[in-house]
Each structure stands twice: as structure tokens, then as C-alpha cells.
Chains A and B, each alone.
Chain A
Amino acid sequence: MTAAFPARPSVARPEGEILHELTRSICPVCRSAIDAQVLLRDGEVFMRKRCPDHGWFEGLIYADARAYVEQAKFNKPGQAPARISTEVERGCPFDCGLCPEHRQHTCLALIEVNTACNLDCPVCFANAGAGFNLTLAEVESMLDRFVELEGHPEVVQFSGGEPTIHPELIAMLDAAQRRDIRFTMVNTNGLRIADGGPWFEEFAARRPLIYLQFDGLTDETYRTIRGAPLLETKLRALDRLAEADLHVMLVAAIERDVNEHEVGPIIEFGLQHPAVRGVMFQPVTHTGRHPDHDPLRRMTIPDVLRRIDEQPAGTFRASDFVPIPCCFPTCSSVTYAYLGDEGEVIPLPRVLEVDQYLDYITNRTLPSIDRDVLHALEGLWSAGSVPGEPTADRFACAACDIDLPALSDLARRVFMVQLRDFLDPWTFDVKKAMKCCIGILQDDGRMIPFCTYNTVGYREQTRARLAARRHGRALPLADRAATMAGVTS
């Protein structure tokens, strides 16, 4: 008799691998939603998934399995936005957004004002190039929508493309600052700033916070990541920003084998430069435009932390960083330090037990947690935290038993180092997307979580819609279903 199910050779899986959890992701080829296994192996965390049409995919999520598992305790309960825009129809991640299933309000909203750029970088998650320019009227209505969705929003960031080449950027900054939005930020490559001139004077008078792309201190790095030797331009931009007394965060895209070794030097440079209030490290996201890469060897937050730890006489240590609890805790880590006149750099987590305060699972009833200190720390450990006086005030409050004064002078003395790892089509995880607190405002009134926008197909869809629109006539929300049909299947 023949068995209906003949015995077959079993599937060989790597020895010692732990199936940590099952979640939902997308197929990197067709972008349809598929189950994904999160695996712990050799001290690292991987995602493995199978698309019925395109086979198996596997990528590195996080290069420290122990930290990945332990950081679950930093997952702060989400806070609902004031309003949402869509219904649940097809399930995450195809109902953005935000839909009723989203677990967090938006700490930081981006408006991509254009797709054009004055650089042509080999690495660009926004895949900048020909496309669209938003009109001032469109941006005004998106800002109104942000206020409507959030109530009293914290931060809007103008991005692109390259926002500084948009002819109406300054009017857009004015529009943002007229509204009930606490901070205005511009994400820029700094080229136009480096040129200075009357435009820069006008721009600087608005006093936006500057997110300056700054990938290293060698032209070699810029040639590889940005396609041009830009170091001198970046330094010139920074000096102009210092003269104008604007607050700058250096934003470094870190790619394996390219500029890993620049992590420490970028921090030390930032500590010395008068304009720089902080550094943000972002492992290169392999979505949009990027060179060939090995998903099993991508940079992750623990890799950047190791580079920080390896600095001989480095100022920061990996243990100074604590995950940001408002979004999914493994997506970002941050630390803040006091900079003394004699060169002291004193990270706040060495002064008080920040990790004990931000432990949302074991600790909620612990009375040694001072509510004011917790509130201050939650303000600092937020994706919407920006350099400047509010940050300094929160820092002072958190370290209040040290008798730190809340002085405007302190704003220059508080330095932020943040690490943020975005999801790509190999690592996309709906569990993280549902907790995301960085959103991209859309012309049709939606707010789409950042990584979902970049990986699932929303970016392409918006670009096609905006490129095709007649000036000033955006596609109304009701027509969304028709365009969403193109996202998967």
C-alpha cells in the first residue's frame, strides 16, 4: 500500500535557530502581504518569509538578539491621534492612513515639497528626480490637516527631493510657523545653504531647525553615497549655519564597508562644531534608489552602537543609549549629554537610570519613579524631540536632583545622538509600522507612516498622482481606493 503522504527528506534549517515570533511583512518583489518569521540565530535577528509567487526572502533585522528581545519592555502604550483618515478595509499595511488600527499618533510629520534635487545620489530612499512641486496652497492645506489630525502638533519637517530648491520654501516655513505647530524643521543636503546670499538670509531669518545630511569627514564617503566630493561644501554650509546661529542635527546615512568607520569621528566633529546640537545615524535604507546590497549584511542599530563602542577614547558608549518608547523600541535609540566648558561630555543615562523610568512592563507602579522626571524623559525619548531650549528644559528637569538650571544657555550644552533604522522591503514588519510615529502628509489628507510609505508602494502612487495632477487639483480622498488597487496583487 502506498502512503498518501510519502516520507520526504526534512527541510534543513540552521542549527540553533529560534522562531521568535510570526508577523506580517511584504514580498520585496510584488509587495503583497505575506507571513514572516522573526528568527533568533547566532546572536542576531533575521526575518524569513515566503511569497507564493516569488519564493523565499531573508534579511537581517537587528544584530543583537538579546537586546532585541529585552527591549520589548520599552514599548510605551500608544496614544491615539485626535483624528484619523481611513477605515480598515484590506488590513495593514494597505489602509494608510492613519487607519483605526494604527497604535500611535504622529510625533513628527514630513511634507515632501518636491521630488527634484540638486544632487543625484546613488543612495536615495526618496528616489529623487523629476516628479512634482507642491504648491504653497497645497502645503497650507496639508499643514491645516496636520493640526486637525494632531490637535497641537510638535514638529513638521520639510523634505523632498531637496526642499531648499523649491521656489516657495520660505513662504511654506512662514505658513508652518503661523500655525499651532511647535517646530519647523528642514531636511537638506546643504548645497544651497553653502552658497549663502540673500536667499539664505531670508531662510535663516525663519530660524528653522536644520537636518543636514552629513555622512562623514572624507570625500571618499561622499563620492560613494552622494556621487560627488561634498566635504568642503558641507563644512561651508555648517559655518554659515553657525554664523546665523541656527541649530543643526547632522544626519549620517551609514552603509556597511563604506563609512562605518566615520561614526565616531562624526560624533567628535559634531561635539566641536558651534552649530551642531546633535547627530543622527541612519543605516542606509535599501528602498527607493540604492546600490546592490546583501540583505543579510545590512547595517543595523547594534552595528552602529558597536562602532561607537570601538572608538578609542570615545565619548559615548553603547550603554549610554536607550530605545525610544513612543515608536517601536528597536526602531530608534537616543542619548543626551551635557557638554561642559572644559570638554566634559556627560550622558544623562549615566546620571539617572533612564532605562528604569522608561520600562513600561515591569515598573508601572514603582513609586521611586518621579512623575515629573518621567514626563521630562518621555519628552526627550521621543521621535519628535528636537535640539534647542525645550530639550534643554526637559534635560534640566530630568536631572533636577542635580540642580541643573533651566537656562537658555543650557540649550547649547545639551547634545543629542540618535540612531534610527528604517524598514526596507526585506525587513518590513506590520507590528512596527502600526506603532510608527513619523508620518508623511499627503495632498489628499492622509498621513502615511514613514517606512510604509517608502516600502509598500505609497510613494510611487503619490508621485504618479501628483505628477499627473493639474496644478492645484489634488485627487480627493474618495478616489483613493482606485489608486490603491495598483499597490499589490
Chain B
Amino acid sequence: MSATPPPVEACCALLYGDPLVELLAGESLHPGGLATSRRLLAAAGLTPGQRILDAGCGLGASARLAAFEFKLRVDACDVSGEAIRRARALADGAGAPIRFTAASVLELPFADASFAGVLVECVLSTTTKAAALREIRRVLGRGGKLLVSDVVSNGPTDVPEPLASVLCLSQAWRPGELEDEVASAGFVVERSLDETAGVSDLLDRLEARAGLLRAVRRDVGRPSWPSSALGGLVGQFGDAASLTDLMTEIRRLVRDGQIGYRALAARAI
């Protein structure tokens, strides 16, 4: 029996399965993209052949990175069946031997101590944090590595959905909270990386892709936005002026240190 995911996780999952959001953000939907994922996986010090879980894998870009570049045995799960379907197709196309499962990070369909590592990027802030960390601790053996990246914010922001979800801002961690929760769930933090620069990169990418999409559709006389579950909400990306205002505001928050992106490698004790 699967628990009903809390609203934000559901919204985020819907978002990740939405082709329009993929169009806007690219395949690696979290701040920092593959560069942050690569640094985290390198910090874990796992050896080829060890088993890792990408929990909340989205389209599976990090899972493929783990399989190909780090030669790990990879499982990947996401609460969105649509995301899993697309991730599986992408992995099959690339010849990546990844096992995909539709599952919530709150209820992982794996035995205790199944994995040497769990990668969880821009996911915990969308769900019940402590419960998710406990569940991750369960599937990691003693000495297993938790690789987590997420947004840290000094306070609530006015960033609207779905942008807030793409940027993991919806239930962002407070400063120090991530470290505390990770410790209470039975981990020792081994590496802590400041990946805040990645937020600006993701903003640039969102802005450029939205701008290009909008300009091309207008200039070559293509129809407007495709209909989609989030079409109405995402339509705001198509309005250049409001998008620019929003981006300017988020950049200000990043510059002022109100929003940061943190990556931790922690060991289960």
C-alpha cells in the first residue's frame, strides 16, 4: 500500500513528468545539473560495481551518470509514473542498465541495507523530510553513503509554482536544518559542498529556453503553448516581462545569500 504523497511531492512529480517543463529546464532539472551530481558521486568514494539508488530520479540523468561514468549498479525510482516511463526510454536508448521503479522516497520498495549509496537531489525539500531520511537510512547498510543536494533558504519566498518546485524552493531547508536532520537520521556528514552557483545557471537555462521557445513560436508562426496539465501555470514562462522580473528577483535572493544550494555526502552510522 503506498502512502499518499504530500501535496508538494505530487506537484513536483507531475512537473517532472511534464514535457513542457522538460523543454524549459532540460533533462537535469535540479540546480547545478550534472556538474553537482558528478561532484557528489565523486565525494561518495564508491567503487565500480557497488549498488546505488537514485531516489526521485526524474528523467534519470544522474542515474545514467552513475551507471556510465562511475560504473555503479543503479536502481532509480520516482513517484511519477510518467517520469519513470520517460527515464526508462532514455536509459534504454543509451544502453544504460538501470532498474527503474515507480515509488515514493517515503516508501522505498527495497529491503533493508540494499544499497551502498542513495542519491537524493532536490527531492527531500518536496516531501516529509525526516520520514524520507529515515527511509533512506533503512535501505542503506552501515557505512552506506547518503548523497543529498537541496535548496537552503533563509525564509519563505514569493516565488510562484511551478517555478518554486523546479528550483526546490517550495519547502526549502532553513540554514543548518539539513545538517541537523541528516545527523538525527543516523548519518555523519563527511563532505559539505556549496553549490549555490548552480542556481544561477539553472535560472539562465530556464530563461534562455523559455525565451527561445517563445521567440521561435512567434517568429515562425507556430501555435502557442502546447496544452498540458500545467499549461496554465507554466504559461507564465512565456510572458517575457514577468519571467524577467521573476528571474531578477530570484537572482537578487541568491546574491543576497537568502537562497543557496547545498550538497552533502554523509555516512550511515
> B105-120: which have CB < 8 Å to A?
none
On chain B, the residues within 8 Å of A403 by CB distance are 23, 213, 216, 222
On chain A, the residues within 8 Å of B64 by CB distance are 366-368
Q: Is residue B27 within 8 Å, beta carbon to beta carbon, of the partner chain?
A: yes
On chain B, the residues within 8 Å of A405 by CB distance are 216, 220, 222
Evaluate contact between A338 and B209: CB separation under 8 angstroms: no
Smallest distance from the beta carbon of B217 to chain A beta carbons, Å? 8
User: Closest residue to B200 on the A side, CB-wise?
Assistant: A319
On chain A, the residues within 8 Å of B215 by CB distance are 338, 340-342, 344, 346
Complex Cα–Cα for A402 and B24 (A):
8
Stretch at the interface among A264-272, A348-356, A426-434: A348-356
Contact code string B200-239 (vs A, CB < 8 Å = 1, else 0): 0000110111011101101110100000000000000000
Contact partner, A368, options B94, B205, B222, Cβ 8 Å: B94
Smallest distance from the beta carbon of B189 to chain A beta carbons, Å? 26
Evaluate contact between B218 and A340: CB separation under 8 angstroms: yes
Evaluate contact between A350 and B207: CB separation under 8 angstroms: yes
Q: Is residue B26 within 8 Å, beta carbon to beta carbon, of the partner chain?
A: yes
Given A350-B204, A353-B34, A409-B220, the answer on whether A399 and B212 have CB atoms closer than 8 Å is yes
Contact partner, A367, options B33, B96, B222, Cβ 8 Å: B96
Smallest distance from the beta carbon of B91 to chain A beta carbons, Å? 7
Q: How many residues of A contact B (CB 8 A)?
A: 27
Q: How many residues of B contact A (CB 8 A)?
A: 35
Evaluate contact between B218 and A341: CB separation under 8 angstroms: yes
Complex Cα–Cα for A325 and B267 (A):
40
Evaluate contact between B65 and A366: CB separation under 8 angstroms: yes
Evaluate contact between B23 and A401: CB separation under 8 angstroms: yes
User: Closest residue to B94 on the A side, CB-wise?
Assistant: A367
Q: Which among A342, A403, A407 has the highest number of chain B CB atoms within 10 Å? A: A403
Q: Which among B95, B211, B219, B222 has the highest number of chain A CB atoms within 10 Å? A: B219
Evaluate contact between A344 and B68: CB separation under 8 angstroms: no
Evaluate contact between A346 and B65: CB separation under 8 angstroms: no
Evaluate contact between A365 and B218: CB separation under 8 angstroms: no
On chain B, the residues within 8 Å of A368 by CB distance are 27-28, 34, 61, 64-65, 90, 94
Known: A350-B207, A362-B38, A367-B95. 13 other contacts (CB 8 A): A340-B215, A346-B215, A347-B208, A350-B205, A356-B34, A363-B69, A366-B34, A366-B68, A367-B94, A368-B28, A401-B23, A405-B222, A413-B219
